[in-house]
Structure 1
Amino acid sequence: MGGTRIGRGFVGSFTSAGGRGVVAVEVEEGSGALTVTGASDDVADPSFLALDGDVLYAVSETDAGAVAAFDVTGPAPRPLGAPVPVDGAGPTHLAVVGGHVLTANYTSGSVSCLPRAADGTLRPVAGQLRHEGSGPVADRQGGPHAHQVLPDPSGRWVLAVDLGTDSVTIGVLDPVTGAPTPHGITALRPGTGPRHLAFHPAGTHAYVLNELEPTLTVCRWDAEAGVLTPLGETAVVPEGPAAPTGPAYPSEVVAAPDGRFLWAAVRGADTLAVLALEEDGAGARLVASVPCGGHWPRDLTLGPSGRHLYAANERSGDVTWFTVDAETGVPSRAGSLPLPAASCVVFG
C-alpha cells in the first residue's frame, strides 16, 4: 500500500435479506478503498452499529429486539455473549453514552438504556423512555416510532428523534442508573416524519432529516438549557424539472467537520444531497445532488480521513465510496464493495 495509513471499519447488514451480518473491513485512507477481513452472522439483522474502542455494539432489528456486543480486536468480530433484549421491538439505532448503551426502538416507540460492564458486555435494561402520540400520515404515524437516539456534543443531554410523532425528545440520564427521563419535547411540522439528526461541529445547531417529506429542518441548539428550536426547512432533492419522478425518502445526514457542508442520503431518488451551510450554521441550501452509486442508500458515513463519504446501498447490496471536493463539497464516486443488504457503516 506504499505506506498509506490503513484504518478499520464495520458494516452492518440485514441477515434476513441475505446479508453477512457484521462485516469487518480495512480502509485504505488515501483512496478510501475497503477490503473485507471477516464477518459474523451470529446476530440477526444487525442493522445499526456503534463502536467504542475495541467493542462494537449492534442492534438486532427484529420483533424481539436486542443488542449484541462484539470484540473487534481480531480480523472478524467475535460475539461477547448472547444478545441482550432491549424490552422493545424493532430497534433501529443505538449510541454509547458513558457507561450505557441506548437504543431507539422503532416499532415500540421507546428508548432503552442498558448498562455496560467493564469488559464491554451489556446488562439488562435499566430504564426506558416511552414516547407518546401520533402523526397525520396514517400508514406511517399511527403511533410513536423512535428512530434515532444520540448524545448532544456537550454530553449533558440525549436526543431521541421520533418519526411517528413528528418530534424530538430531549432527555437526561440518571447519574446512577442511567435511566432516561424526559426534559422537553420539540414539535416539528406535522407529517414530515423526522428520522435522524446531526449536530453542527460548533454544537450550536442541529439538522433534522425528515423521511416522509424530503426536507431538512434547521434548528438552534441551546446546550445550557437543553432546548431545540426549529428555524426553517430546506429541500434535500431538486425542485422543478430536475425533481425526482417518484417518492424520495431521506435516510441519513452527515455534517462536515469544518461546518461548511451537510450531506444527506435519499432513498428512492437514490441520491446524495449536498447542502452548503451558512457561516454560523443557522441556514442550509441545496447546492448539488449526485447519484448514490446504487439503490436505496440507507446510511451515509464520513470516512476516517474526512475526505470520503460511504453510502450503504441496501437494495443494490453494496457500499460505495466517494471522494469529496474540499471546495465545493460535491462527492465523486471512487469505488464500491459488494455487500448484500448493507445498512450501516462505522469507522474507528
Structure 2
Amino acid sequence: MVDKGVARAFIGSFTSAGGPGIVAASLDPRTGALTATGTVEAVDPSYLAVGRSEAGPVLYAVSETVPGAVTAYDIAAPVARPLGAPVPVGGDEPTHLAVARGHLVTANYGSGSVSVLPLAADGAPRPPSAVLRHEGSGPDPERQRAPHAHQVLTDPSGRWVLSVDLGTDSVRICSLDTATGAPALRSETALPPGTGPRHLAFHPSGRHAYVLGELRPTVTVCRWDAAAGALEPVGETPLFPEGVEGPVSPSAPVVSPDGRHLWAAVRGTDTIVVLALDGTGERARVVASVPCGGRWPRDLVLGPTGTRLYAANERSGDVTWFDLEAGSGFPRRAGSLAVPAASAVLFV
C-alpha cells in the first residue's frame, strides 16, 4: 500500500505529441522536487482528477480524442491499475473533468457539451446518464463559431457544477440530481464578447470567482452567491498592457490559500502573471510577471503545502516548480522534471 503521509503527483502528457501518457512521480516535501517513478498508459490525457471509492483513491483521466473517453485507475497501490477499459463520454475532445455528487462530469470542448457519468462502488465510470449540450456562439470567427466547453468544476459548497465555455463567452451553473446525476441548468452568466473564457478559480472565502480569458488576456472578477447559484461579473483586469506583441493565450488561474494572490499561466509570452487581490477579493491588479520555466504553460497548480507552484510546460516538455515568497507571492524557479508534451499536474 501507499504511505498516506507521502504526497504523490500524476502528470498528464499528450501521447499524440510524443508524451508517455501519465507520469507518476514522488514529491520531496522539503524541496518540492518531483521524481518520476513510472508511467501509466493513457491516450492524450489532457486533464486529471481524483475521487474516492470504497477501496481508496481513484485517478480519472480524460482522453482529448474524437470521440472522447475517460479512464479510471485504482491508485491505492504503488502501481496504478486501470478499472476497466476507457469509457466513451458521449462527446468529442474532452478537456476537463470533475467529481461531483457521486458522478464524473466532463467538459467536451469539441462538441460543446457536458457529460455526466455515474460511478460504480469501485470508482469505475459507467456510460453517460446525461449529456447537456451548450448553445450559442461568439464574435471570433475561428474559435467561437460554436460552443466549446473547456472546464467543469464544483463550487466550494458542492451544490453546483459550473461549466466554462470558450465558444459562447459564458459560464453555466447547473445542479445535479443526487440520484440520477441529471443536470438542470440554473443560470448562465455572460462575459464580455470575445473573452473566450477558459478556466475559473474560486477565492477561498467562496464569495468570489476569477474567470481567465483565453482569447482576451483578462481576469474577470465575479461575485458568487452559493445560495442562489448565481455568478455576477463585477470587474475586469487586463493581464498585459494594450498592444502586447505575439500570440497571447492564458491557460490556468490559481488563487493562494490566504486569498491574497492570483497567478495566471500565459502561453505565448510563456509567463506566470502575479496579481494581488484586495481584502474583499473583489479587486485584482497585476504586480509582476515571471518566466514559466519553459514553453507553453498549459496547466498551473499549487503544491500540497500551498507554498509552491507547478507549471506543466507542454511545448518544452517539462514540469517546473517555483517557491513562493511569503507576503509578495513572487514565484522563484526551484527545479524541473522532464515530461514530454506535459498537459496537467495533479497531487494526491
Give matches, 1:145-156, under 5 Å. Answer: 145-156=148-159
Name the amino acid aligned to 2:181.
Answer: G
Which residue matches 2:287?
287
C-alpha contact 1:23 1:76 (8 A) present in aligned 2? no
Counterpart residue type for residue 223 of structure 2: R
RMSD over aligned CA atoms reads 1.1
The whole-number CA distance in structure 1 between the counterparts of 2:308 and 2:69 is 31
Q: Which residue of 2 aligns with 1:48?
A: 47
Matched AA of 2:337: L
**Cα distance, 1:245 vs. partner?**
2.6
Structure 1 gaps of 5+ residues are none
- The yes-or-no answer on 1:260 pairing with 2:260 is yes
Q: 1:124 aligns with which of 127, 142, 164?
A: 127
Q: 2-side partners of 1:168 and 1:253: how far apart?
A: 15
- Shift, 1:51, TM fit: 1.1
- Aligned equivalents of 2:338, 2:271: Cα separation in 1: 18
Greater shift, 69-78 or 141-150, is seen at: 69-78
Partner of 2:96: 93
SS at match of 1:101: strand
For 1:171, the equivalent position in structure 2 comes to 174
TM-score (norm 2): 0.96
1:308 maps to 308
Aligned to 1:219: 222
Q: What letter matches 1:17 in structure 2? A: A
Distance 1:294 1:78 in 2: 31
* Worse overlay, 75-84 or 115-124: 75-84
Q: Where has structure 1 moved over 4 Å in runs of 4 or more? A: none
CA contact (8 A) 1:38 1:75 kept: no
1:112 maps to which residue?
115
Alignment equivalent of 1:84, drawn from 82, 87, 112? 87
Shift of 1:174: 1.3
TM-superposition CA deviations, 1:188-212 (whole Å, max 9, x none) = 0000100000000000000000000
Provide the C-alpha distance between the structure 1 equivalents of 2:173 and 2:196, rounded to a whole number of angstroms.
Answer: 17
Q: What are the Cα deviations for residues 177-230 of structure 1, in whole angstroms up to 9, with x where unaligned?
A: 001121100000000100000000000000000000110000000111111000
Does the Cα contact within 8 Å between 2:101 and 2:178 map onto a contact in 1? no
Shift of 1:78: 1.9
* 2: CA distance, partners of 1:78 / 1:316: 29
- For residues 1-348 of structure 1, the aligned pairs below 5 Å read 6-41=6-41, 43-53=42-52, 54-237=57-240, 239=241, 244-348=244-348
Distance in 1 (alpha carbons) for counterparts of 2:345 and 2:178: 30
Name the amino acid aligned to 1:56: L
C-alpha distance in 2 between matches for 1:309 and 1:68: 27
Offset, 1:6: 3.9
What SS does structure 1 have at the residue aligned with 2:46?
coil
Contact 2:101/2:176 (<8 A) preserved = no
Cα contact 1:23–1:77 (8 A) shared by 2: no
User: In the aligned structure 1, how far is the partner of 2:76 from the partner of 2:38?
Assistant: 12
Q: Deviations over 1:250-294 (max 9, x none)?
A: 000011111000111000000001110010101111100000000
Deviation, structure 1 residue 244: 4.3
> What are the Cα deviations for residues 30-78 of structure 1, in whole angstroms up to 9, with x where unaligned?
211001111112x210110001242100001001100100111233322
Please give the alpha-carbon distance, in whole angstroms, between the structure 1 residues aligned to 2:248 and 2:96. 21
Percent sequence identity over aligned pairs = 65
Q: Is residue 302–residue 309 contact of structure 2 (8 Å, CA) maintained in 1?
A: yes
